Amino acid sequence: MKLGVCAHVFYPLGRGPEAFAAAVAQAAELGFEAIELPVDARSPFIDLDDALAGGHARIAETVRGAGLTISALSNHQEGQLLLGPHGVDTDAIHAGSAEVKQRYAHDRLVKTAELARRLEVDVVCGFTGCEDYSRWFPWPLEDGYERMVPQFRAVMMPVLDELAARGVRFAHECHPRQFAYNLETAQLALAAVDQHPALAFNLDPANLLLAGMDPVVFIAELGARIAHVHGKDGELVAHHAARSGLLAHGAPHRRDRGFRFRVPGWGDLSWRRLISELQLARFTGVIAVEHEDPTMSPREGLVQAVRHLAPLILRDPVPEARWW
Amino acid sequence: MKLGVCAHVFYPLGRGPEAFAAAVAQAAELGFEAIELPVDARSPFIDLDDALAGGHARIAETVRGAGLTISALSNHQEGQLLLGPHGVDTDAIHAGSAEVKQRYAHDRLVKTAELARRLEVDVVCGFTGCEDYSRWFPWPLEDGYERMVPQFRAVMMPVLDELAARGVRFAHECHPRQFAYNLETAQLALAAVDQHPALAFNLDPANLLLAGMDPVVFIAELGARIAHVHGKDGELVAHHAARSGLLAHGAPHRRDRGFRFRVPGWGDLSWRRLISELQLARFTGVIAVEHEDPTMSPREGLVQAVRHLAPLILRDPVPEARWW
Amino acid sequence: MKLGVCAHVFYPLGRGPEAFAAAVAQAAELGFEAIELPVDARSPFIDLDDALAGGHARIAETVRGAGLTISALSNHQEGQLLLGPHGVDTDAIHAGSAEVKQRYAHDRLVKTAELARRLEVDVVCGFTGCEDYSRWFPWPLEDGYERMVPQFRAVMMPVLDELAARGVRFAHECHPRQFAYNLETAQLALAAVDQHPALAFNLDPANLLLAGMDPVVFIAELGARIAHVHGKDGELVAHHAARSGLLAHGAPHRRDRGFRFRVPGWGDLSWRRLISELQLARFTGVIAVEHEDPTMSPREGLVQAVRHLAPLILRDPVPEARWW
Amino acid sequence: MKLGVCAHVFYPLGRGPEAFAAAVAQAAELGFEAIELPVDARSPFIDLDDALAGGHARIAETVRGAGLTISALSNHQEGQLLLGPHGVDTDAIHAGSAEVKQRYAHDRLVKTAELARRLEVDVVCGFTGCEDYSRWFPWPLEDGYERMVPQFRAVMMPVLDELAARGVRFAHECHPRQFAYNLETAQLALAAVDQHPALAFNLDPANLLLAGMDPVVFIAELGARIAHVHGKDGELVAHHAARSGLLAHGAPHRRDRGFRFRVPGWGDLSWRRLISELQLARFTGVIAVEHEDPTMSPREGLVQAVRHLAPLILRDPVPEARWW
Amino acid sequence: MKLGVCAHVFYPLGRGPEAFAAAVAQAAELGFEAIELPVDARSPFIDLDDALAGGHARIAETVRGAGLTISALSNHQEGQLLLGPHGVDTDAIHAGSAEVKQRYAHDRLVKTAELARRLEVDVVCGFTGCEDYSRWFPWPLEDGYERMVPQFRAVMMPVLDELAARGVRFAHECHPRQFAYNLETAQLALAAVDQHPALAFNLDPANLLLAGMDPVVFIAELGARIAHVHGKDGELVAHHAARSGLLAHGAPHRRDRGFRFRVPGWGDLSWRRLISELQLARFTGVIAVEHEDPTMSPREGLVQAVRHLAPLILRDPVPEARWW
Amino acid sequence: MKLGVCAHVFYPLGRGPEAFAAAVAQAAELGFEAIELPVDARSPFIDLDDALAGGHARIAETVRGAGLTISALSNHQEGQLLLGPHGVDTDAIHAGSAEVKQRYAHDRLVKTAELARRLEVDVVCGFTGCEDYSRWFPWPLEDGYERMVPQFRAVMMPVLDELAARGVRFAHECHPRQFAYNLETAQLALAAVDQHPALAFNLDPANLLLAGMDPVVFIAELGARIAHVHGKDGELVAHHAARSGLLAHGAPHRRDRGFRFRVPGWGDLSWRRLISELQLARFTGVIAVEHEDPTMSPREGLVQAVRHLAPLILRDPVPEARWW
């Protein structure tokens, strides 16, 4: 295992190659060994078309120059358009009809995978979206969730084939408003695409906590499909949870929410349990800190995350036998 | 407080006045004192138009004849069409465009209220629906939930005015896929309609448990707005919850769900805590058992519910002072 | 074990022999087998001097006539004056100097014991008071609590001797504002009076809960000294405790207290654990319901208490050996 | 489901047919519907050889006459000799060499099955014993437990074949000192005998609690193999557990044990969770109260067990679909 | 936020300016950034009268010279005399009648504030005392606590006015034997002095834990009134709590107490929760370690406290908006 | 207190003096201050006979040269043969009859003690074995455990006398398959040998956790008898415990066990609670990390253990009085 960071936390540093270089340098200085690079249109650091047109060399050089590696490219924003929702909720990502949005998402993910191939990165993290996530509740349409399976398959198979052709796995991040948001729906997704070898997962344990499940069990059952891990924690805010519950609506920075994302160590997750199970699953990839903690500045959140996680990263393999 | 039952559990008894009479008789025989009557088009017992055309007298007589009272009329099915979702999810309730569905819902709720008035019932329980409940999560649209407030107001004010004109309160049931699904959104709903006196709540503590909040706090803060209570319990199924979490998708009868509704006493709720707080809120209405427990037959579920709840119903008022 | 009731809950029935007879009759009708009779000056049923002057026969007859027994006489009010506090806090019990108050308390307790003797009751429940209960916290006076030991001994030894002479044990009730308020101070009290055989305890598990200790351990260690038990429960009110804590100040009927007394079954105590340990301690006396639950009327609270406790009362002795 | 009782609790009633009739009558009077009959040599009611020689008709008549059914024959004592331990620990059951003991056990179990067949009972509950149960801990012999598998198979296959030939299932009770003592070893046992159809389980949830596992998961995974259930509870005695732990040594009646068996309702098990999962597993057999509670007399323990369990017994099948 | 230390832990270093300089140097060397200075008559470092007569310059210089700041002056000892108790409990602080003690307290607090002003420190931490803290329990005097409100107001208003005139806030520390000892009484105190702007709080979360409440809720509700924080933890000693409960009497060093104060990290408090809420309350002051842990030497306790707290101190402000 | 390490973790380094020197050097480099040396025949580092024949000087020199001390010699392997089990389970340790095995164990323990004496080490850690550990369950032999007491005494008294003669204490490690495996049986063992001064304990809190008891209570009651401590943690593996329970059978490296040993900090133990109680018991010896964690390599496990434990080791004595 290695410790990485998701580059979105450095967006305040500005736009363009210098800002990107500053971001990478800061990541290295803080003690990270790898970086996850979002490449959707919102990224101030990477222009996907430009990178494919030759800019990728400079990206690779910048990262390597700082002594880092790229743990994954990611494209959550545009992936959401694959299955939607396709209305106003996603207009800020790409305006247009459902068809237009879906086509755009497909193309952008393929481009993302192509860039990954050129950068010798074998994971693309992202979302798939979901036509109507609220259908997890079986009313008014009892089979509402199951009805979405064919569409999931129809949209995802071509994407997965394209990625597989480039030697890249799509690491879906279970999360609210995605078709796969917990262990059971992750398994449903795998079944829907005939266990396609290119479908993997970006384990974000805080998202699974928000679904009320135990992320360690996700590792125990689907460990071989975990291609990337997010170092993100979640806190059921004890003194507010009685009022808003787990499913707190409204802006993440609202002070009195019953649930908020936190940097690792400041939430309810036991990173020792998580890392132990990742170790037993022979996971040797990157845990990339994704800082969405509304209580800490970008830099201070990273400092705290490194302080908690770095000492826990296991680097030796599990012993195969008793040595004593 | 009194103990009642929601009539939907008797639907297997058949259709028409005899079936209805049998349902009421069974309710009385099981020990219930009141009955909540759904009047949407799915009801095998009540035809709303027919009742308004004079049938209401027979309804009243049937209920009175069994020694019961009507705790509330309810219309969750059609209420859902007020705010939707308006697509295929609700086509089975009433097909048509969003406008058609909303208009239908409005008319049916007004008719429900009118029938309530004629039956001398002052509560209509129901749903309001929600354009897109999954917007509680603030992404991709950070202000997605807040954007639904104006529509909620626009649709609900006329409904509430109509009900108020008939001396009836609308008791919304906080529930997944409703605009108001927890304490905070219930307060948001009240604010959206300027604290309209006709907006009340049908407290279903199992639904609040599913949102991860404490239903007792709902009573502590909004007790004066509680017009009706559902006797329904919920169970976080300990040995499955690690896999599906709280937000288990798929059919309610699926055996391995991490959450299921239960009859009172067989779930995680403390009915003593709930009843104590209702008592302190000076609630003197009806707790109507709503049996949606997938492990028990209709009749056996009611027997169990009565066995647990009946001995806990408090009938005397809270003493205003120390007597010793 | 038998189930009894403390007569103070019947005070609203009025004053005098008829009211007393009505109280006893109601106790019997509700299913109680014994009654604890307070005999302090506040009692509307018993006038201590009058009873000693011959009235005791009528008391005995009234109780026996209803098929009950007297589990204990009690005198908490006046016992408090033994050690105080002796200022305004106790003026309503008996006005005067500290010396006057203490002398009064001594005399009244001896009279109580004398009446017990005549009624063939061998337990007097009560309080001893405490000069300054807040001294449990060792500041500003580190040895504040220990300083009160000599006074405790000086005042209590004569009382205990008087009771012993009448074949009566004094069952002190550990409670806030008493010298002995938890297991450790109960043991300190026993040590202070050289393990005087007349010092016993009236176990009120709700009071011990309020001290933050486990009342079952009190039974496990001091079971042989338990002469009487109060059937009183306590609730750490989950949704208020974060604000007021365990030590909520103010009137018992204040709705938002973090702690309140409850009738058995409606609080946090496990009566099965309590009764199991009493059984193992070979306790064969009376559990007398003391209803101070601010949420229920006098009668309804008793109904609830009987409903919870009566089915749990064990009447056979612990088997001395394995029978299978 | 039905409520039964294991006859061993009536052994104090005496020996012979009259005592047996009294036992059955008392079971009926207490509200039980079925009885589990131990038939080992210690039984004062059943002489196995005599019953096979014709006495069985009278047994059947006695039971039927009281309106009961026989839920199972049981033979834990002699079954223990199958796998031992074969030293002094089991001499009181049957003295002799290991070979002699094992042969005796085999013969007695076959006789037990033969009697079951004649009584039209299809379940024999019992133990299999274990060569050395302490080998669950993998030291000094790391593969100590696995080494016992061949012996288990060799001894059990003939027994299971004999039972199968008589239409009887052997319901092993997971318990300390048995080869199968938790869910995993129950599955190991099934594998060892090639999933022999005659191997079933007598679910005693208190024994599983003592192993530290969740008995509900046993039902969820092996429900179809559960042929009989023991109504026995277990209590991790909170105030003693810190000292003795779960594995308290010494006599069951020792007051300060950290774990003791209890009658249902007085221990830590949730019978509602157990019964819900049995219901979902379509279990329609008998829950037979096995009273080994050291705090209660034989009769009082049964009264308590019936009081807790009878109201929870579900008699209708699980509904196969939603009815509302 | 910054990390400080309360100087009382250095009292063993001796008396006078050199000892004081040594204390300050040790504080700096251990990693503290600020120091809280008690100035009551027990202080070996500060003589209040002498400091006011000009010694204050040297104090300031000593602290500044070590690179520290003064987070607050404190005067708990003498503040206790404001409201008492005025008997023997406080004779060691200042002997005399109640009037004499109260006058002394008033004068000393004003002097403390004056010294604070000269040292450019804007917080005086302290106690107010309480006539009879045990009156939180509403018996024998039901309104006992409320009766103390007028006296609180009468005594505190002049003190607060004097402090306000010097630009200093009085930071009361909720604690046993103080009028304000939990969140509710803190709010009662604010109401009693008409929300006087000079009344603030020195948050000592261990004291609030001892009251059974959640100190994080104190911050959530009264955050703007928190002027200073004590870094002190508390441990409900699991293996002793069943016997002494939360309200353990006797000397703090008694080994078997059910509650003891600890240095941060060694008790039950979550400093991450506390610091998160302080951060959300925009608290930018000092957390001063107050070491009263009976298990550790003065220096080792400080080492442990720094080791736990220093890495958690947040120095950047809460981001006002989402940056990604 | 000091931090040490048990040398068995270095066995992969090879055999002989160089390997031993490398082990000691690595221990020092990792930050340990002491080493526990197993001297049974399996040790690749120490040949007991050779050491007694003069090799001890070199051992002492090697350890001293690396700046370490020897915290204890240990001989668990051969000690097991004292009481067995004496069958195939222990053949790999020393083959032969029960008598041969026991004699061998006695001799080897005496030699171990003699070597300890020469190395100026006053503790020998080890096991005593147990004839049949599964007899803790009182069936089929109710007094099975008690029957083993005389044998325990007969075997242990001579061993203890021999050790005492050499100024060495035998520190038995409570553990499965030992006569003393929890607090109660440790006290039973002490009683069996008349509180022999040479019988002490090597506290391994993970083993006590496995017995279900609280290791802190062991310290609170038997602190003065603790001569050595193992730094070993245990994890009740939350997501597997429902299936295997606490008593998981089979190899320690099996991934899905419900219980596994862990290095300190990665299991369920609170080392702060343990160290606090050791501190209060005035324990000034060594906590030696015993790494049997199946998830980590030998070296990485030690790094993690040091990272967790080293900052918590208390080096100053408990203050005897309040200093402030």
3-state DSSP helix/strand/coil % of chain F, to nearest 5: 50, 15, 35
Determine if residue D96 is left, alpha or beta; phi over 0 gives left, psi from -120 to 50 gives alpha, anything else beta.
left
Supply A308's token pair.
Answer: 């908690």
Size of interface C-D (CB pairs under 8 A): 52
Kindly tell me if the per-residue pLDDT of B19 is higher than 90: yes
Q: How confident is the model at residue C321 (pLDDT cuts 50, 70, 90)?
A: confident
Question: Hey, is the C-beta of D12 within 8 angstroms of any chain F C-beta?
Answer: no
How far is residue E95 from each of residues A208, E47, E80, E101, measured CA to CA in Å? 63, 19, 13, 7
Contact state of F314 with E296 under an 8 Å Cβ cutoff: yes
Please answer whether residues D128 and D179 qualify as being in contact, where contact means their C-beta atoms are separated by less than 8 angstroms.
yes
Q: What is the spatial distance between Cα B103 and Cα B101, in angstroms, rounded to a whole number?
A: 5
SS (H, E, C) chain D: CEEEEEHHHHHHHCCCHHHHHHHHHHHHHHCCCEEEEECCCCCCCCCHHHHHHHHHHHHHHHHHHCCCEEEEEEEHHHHHHHHCCCCHHHCCCCCCCHHHHHHHHHHHHHHHHHHHHHCCCCEEEECCCCCCHHHHCCCCCCCHHHHCHHHHHHHHHHHHHHHHHCCCEEEECCCCCCCCCCHHHHHHHHHHCCCCCCEEEEECHHHHHHCCCCHHHHHHHHHHHEEEEEECEEEECHHHHHHHCCCCCCCCCCCCCCEEEECCCCCCCCHHHHHHHHHHCCCCCEEEECCCCCCCCHHHHHHHHHHHHHHHCCCCCCCCCCCC
Contact D130, D148 (CB under 8 A): yes
Residue range E247-285, pLDDT digits in tens: 999 999 999 999 999 999 999 999 999 999 999 999 999
Whether residue D66 contacts residue D102, with contact meaning beta carbons closer than 8 Å, is answered with: no
**CA dihedral for D254, D258, D261, D264, sign (positive or negative):** positive
pLDDT in tens, chain E (324 residues): 999 999 999 999 999 999 999 999 999 999 999 999 999 999 999 999 999 999 999 999 999 999 999 999 999 999 999 999 999 999 999 999 999 999 999 999 999 999 999 999 999 999 999 999 999 999 999 999 999 999 999 999 999 999 999 999 999 999 999 999 999 999 999 999 999 999 999 999 999 999 999 999 999 999 999 999 999 999 999 999 999 999 999 999 999 999 999 999 999 999 999 999 999 999 999 999 999 999 999 999 999 999 999 999 999 999 988 877
Size of interface B-C (CB pairs under 8 A): 52
Q: What is the pLDDT of residues F11-44, one digit of tens each?
A: 999 999 999 999 999 999 999 999 999 999 999 9
> Are the C-beta atoms of B207 and B178 separated by less than 8 Å?
no
| pLDDT confidence of residue C320 | 86
pLDDT tens, residue by residue, B192-216:
999 999 999 999 999 999 999 999 9
Region label for D129, one of left (φ > 0), alpha (ψ between -120 and 50) or beta (otherwise): left
User: What is the Cα–Cα distance from E214 to A242, expressed in whole angstroms?
Assistant: 14
> Is C253 in a helix, a strand, or coil?
coil
CA A232 from chain centre, in angstroms, equals: 10
Percent of chain F with pLDDT over 70: 100
The helix or strand, by DSSP H or E, that contains position B76, with its residue range, turns out to be helix B76-83
With contacts defined as CB-CB under 8 Å, which chain A residues touch F298?
Answer: 319, 323
Q: Are D72 and D123 in contact (CB under 8 A)?
A: yes
To the nearest whole angstrom, how far is the Cα of E139 from the nearest Cα of chain A? 31
Mean pLDDT lowest among A287-296, B254-263, B315-324: B315-324
Among E312, E315, E323, beta carbon nearest to A11: E323
The answer on pLDDT for F324 being more than 80 is no
Listed residue (F100, F251, F112, F83) closest to F178, CA to CA: F83
Token pair for residue A84?
């939607």
In the Cβ-directed half-sphere of D276, how many Cα atoms lie within 13 Å?
A: 27
Beta carbons within 8 Å of F30's beta carbon, 6+ residues apart = F5, F299, F302, F303, F306
pLDDT surpassing 90 at residue D324: no
Answer yes or no: is pLDDT of D322 > 90: no
Residue B289: pLDDT over 90:
yes
Q: Residue type at F185? A: T
Q: DSSP string spanning B283-307?
A: --SEEEE----TTS-HHHHHHHHHH
Given a cut of 90, is residue F320 above it in pLDDT?
Answer: no
- DSSP string for E73-107: EEEHHHHHHHH---SGGGTTT--S-HHHHHHHHHH
Q: What is the pLDDT of residue E321?
A: 83
Query: How confident is the prediction for chain B on average, in pLDDT?
Result: 97
F82 inside 8 A of chain D by CB: no
CB pairs under 8 A between E and F: 52
Given a contact cutoff of 8 angstroms between Cβ atoms, the answer to whether E127 and E171 are in contact is no
Q: Which residues contact A117 (CB under 8 A, 6 or more apart)?
A: A166, A167, A168
What is the phi/psi pair of residue F187, to 5°?
-70, -35
CB contacts, 8 Å: A42 with chain B = none
Q: Contact at 8 Å (CB) between B312 and B254?
A: no
Which of D219, D307, D324 to probe by mutation at the B interface, max B CB count within 10 Å?
D324
Which of B213, B214, B216, B276 has the most C C-beta neighbours within 10 Å, making it the best mutation to test the interface with C?
Answer: B276
Count of other CB atoms within 10 angstroms of residue D189: 23
Interval C72-117: pLDDT, tens: 999 999 999 999 999 999 999 999 999 999 999 999 999 999 999 9
pLDDT digits (tens, 9 = 90+) for A115-161: 999 999 999 999 999 999 999 999 999 999 999 999 999 999 999 99
Beta carbons of C113 and C168 less than 8 angstroms apart: yes
Across the interface, of A235, A253, A297, the residue whose CB is closest to E316 is A297
Looking at residues F235-242, what average pLDDT do you find?
97
| Spatial separation of the C-alpha atoms in residues B64 and E117, rounded to whole Å | 79
pLDDT at B324 over 90: no
| pLDDT computed for residue C59 by the predictor | 98
pLDDT of residue B320: 85
d(CA D176, CA D249): 12
Residue E124's closest CA among E69, E75, E182? E75
Give the Cα separation of A98 and E21 in Å (integer): 73
Residue B137 at interface with chain A, using a CB cutoff of 8 Å? yes
Determine, for residues D298 and C323 on separate chains, whether the beta-carbon distance falls below 8 Å. yes
E29 CB-contact burial (10 Å; exposed 0-12 / middle 13-18 / buried 19+): exposed
pLDDT class of D320 with cuts at 50, 70, 90? confident
Interface contact A75, partner B, CB < 8 A: no
Strand pairing class (F226-231; B34-38): unpaired
Q: Is A150 on the interface with B (CB under 8 A)?
A: no
Partner-chain contact F89 D140, CB within 8 Å: yes
Query: Is pLDDT at D253 greater than 80 in this prediction?
Result: yes
**φ and ψ at residue B38, rounded to 5 degrees:** -70, 140
How far are the Cα atoms of A309, C115, C143, D70, D302 from residue C148, in angstroms, in the given order? 53, 30, 9, 67, 50
pLDDT recorded at residue A320: 86
Q: Mark out the alpha helices in B84-237 (DSSP H runs).
A: 98-118, 149-165, 183-192, 205-210, 215-222
Residue C224 burial class via C-beta count within 10 angstroms: exposed 0-12, middle 13-18, buried 19 and up: exposed
Q: Pick from E17, E242, E243, E227: which is nearest to E124 by CA? A: E227
Between CA F265 and CA F235 the distance in angstroms is: 10
pTM metric for this prediction: 0.98
3-state SS class at B34: strand
Q: Which residues of F touch A279 (CB under 8 A)?
A: 295-296
Residue E316 Cα to chain centre, angstroms: 25
Least CB-CB distance to C322: which of D253, D255, D265? D253
Instruction: Check CB contact of C280 with chain D, cutoff 8 Å.
Output: yes
Which chain E residues contact residue A235 at CB under 8 A? 276
State the ipTM, two decimals: 0.96
Question: Using CB atoms, which chains have 3+ pairs under 8 A with D?
Answer: B, C, F
Pairing of strands F2-6, F286-289: parallel
Q: How far apart are CA A19 and CA D214, in angstroms?
A: 55
pLDDT at F322: 84
Of the candidates F50, F11, F51, F44, which has an alpha carbon nearest to the alpha carbon of residue F27?
A: F11
Query: In this structure, are residues A76 and A38 in contact, taking their beta carbons and an 8 Å threshold?
Result: yes
- C321 closest CA partner among D42, D250, D294: D294
Confidence at residue A270, expressed as pLDDT on a 0 to 100 scale: 98
Tell me the C-alpha distance between C280 and C282, whole Å: 5
What are the tokens at E111?
A: 């002097």
Disruptive mutation site among C213, C322, C324 for chain D (greatest number of D CBs within 10 Å): C324
- DSSP codes of every residue in F167-181: T-EEEE---TTSS--
What is the number of residues in chain C? Answer: 324
* The two three-digit tokens of residue F24, written as one number: 């000691």
Unique residue bearing structure tokens 């526990």 = F36
Query: Is the peptide bond between E311 and the residue preceding it cis, with omega within 30 degrees of 0?
Result: no
The pLDDT score that the predictor gives to residue D239 is 96
pLDDT of residue B108: 98
- Calculate the average pLDDT of chain F: 97
Question: Rounded distance, CA B307 to CA B305, Å?
Answer: 5
At residue E318's C-alpha, the angle toward residues E312 and E319, to 5°, is 130
Where chain A has pLDDT below 50, the residues are: none
What CA–CA distances, in Å, run from F180 to D116, D252, E30?
44, 19, 45
**Cα separation of D45 and D10, whole Å?**
9
**What average pLDDT score do residues C141-146 get?**
95
